[in-house]
């Protein structure tokens, strides 16, 4: 009986270590994806601010070419 109880404890410890490893890996993956997302959002916000500044400057000089999509930052 003692041998069976010890075997169950060993299996439970192995299972706990495996689950802990899986959860640690999932947390690491989640952190990496959120870091990427925040970095990308920051880059996009800087680009929007630059486009706003470019638009403000072009309106200030009165020179907007309606046929030139690159002036509006619409290059694809």
The SS3 of residue 63 is coil
Range of the domain at 52: 24-62
Q: Is residue 11 part of a domain?
A: no
Q: Is residue 1 part of a domain?
A: no
- Please state which of the ranges 15-19, 22-26, 31-35, 57-61 shows the lowest mean pLDDT: 31-35
pTM, full prediction: 0.41
**pLDDT one-digit tens code per residue, 30-67:** 767 778 888 999 999 999 999 999 999 999 876 555 55
CB 51 within 8 A of CB 73: yes
Mean pLDDT to the nearest integer, 13-31: 85
How many domains would you assign to the chain? 1
Q: What is the pLDDT, as a whole number, of residue 76?
A: 47
Residue in the structure block whose two tokens are 């916000």: 45
Q: Is residue 10 part of a domain?
A: no
DSSP string of 5-62, one letter each residue: HHHHHHHHHHHHHHHHHHHHHHHHHHHHHHHHHHHHHHHHHHHHHHHHHHHHHHHHHT
Mean pLDDT to the nearest integer, 6-31: 78
Q: Is residue 57 part of a domain?
A: yes
Neighbours of 19 (CB within 10 A): 10
């Amino acid at each position: 009986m003692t041998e069976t109880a010890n075997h169950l404890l060993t299996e439970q410890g192995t299972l706990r270590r495996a689950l802990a490893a899986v959860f640690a890996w999932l947390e690491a993956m989640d952190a990496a994806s959120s870091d990427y997302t925040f970095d990308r959002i920051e880059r996009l916000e800087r680009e929007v601010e630059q486009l706003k500044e470019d638009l403000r400057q072009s309106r200030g000089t009165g020179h907007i070419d309606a046929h030139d999509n690159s002036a509006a930052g619409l290059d694809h």
